[in-house]
Homo-oligomer: A and B are copies of this chain.
Amino acid sequence: MRARDLAGEFPTVGMDTPAIEAARLLAAENLPGLVVVDSERRPVTVLPGTQVLRLGVPGYLQDDPALVRVVDEAHADVFLRGLAGRTVRECLPAQARELPVVEPDATVLEIAALMARTRSPLVAVADRGGALIGVVTLDALMDRMLAS
C-alpha cells in the first residue's frame, strides 16, 4: 500500500482564487483543508483548515488573545471583511514550511509521520514532475492503518 493507492480526488484552489471562495469551498464540503496548485497543477502549498481561518483573522489579532477579547461581538464580521477582495496568494504565510507532499511510492508510515510532523490533515501526492496526482486525507489514512 503506497501513496498512489491511497490518493483520492480532492478540490484544489489557485493562487488567484478569491479568499472568500476558498473559505466557502472548505466550509461547504467539510474539507480538512485546501490544496493550492499552480497553473501546471503542481501543489504550491497545502493549507490545513485551521490555517484557512487565518485568511480572515487580521494579523494583529491572530497571536494576541487579550486583543481579540476586546474586539466586540458586533465586529465578528471582521472575518468577512478580512477576506473581501483578497486572493489566496495574499493570505499565505510569509515563511516557507515543510510541505506535506509525497511521491507516489511513499509508504503509509511515511505519510503518517509527515502528517504528524507538519500537523496537516491532508498530504498531496505528486509525480516526479511535481504535478498533483491526488490527496491522502487523515481519515483515509486512519481507516487504512486500522484496517488490519
Contact = CB atoms under 8 A, between A and B. Distances in A.
Contacts of A1: 73, 76
Given A68-B110, A116-B53, A142 B77 contact: no
Task: Please classify how large the interface on chain A is, using the bins under 10, 10 to 19, 20 to 34, 35 or more.
Answer: 35 or more
Specify how many copies of this chain sit in the oligomer.
2
B73 A107 contact: yes
Nearest to A102: B65
B115 A53 contact: yes
A27 B139 CA distance: 6
Contacts of A113: 57, 61-63, 65, 68
Interface string A36-63: 0000000000001111111011000111
A57 B109 contact: yes
B32 A121 contact: yes
B109 A75 contact: yes
A79 B112 contact: yes
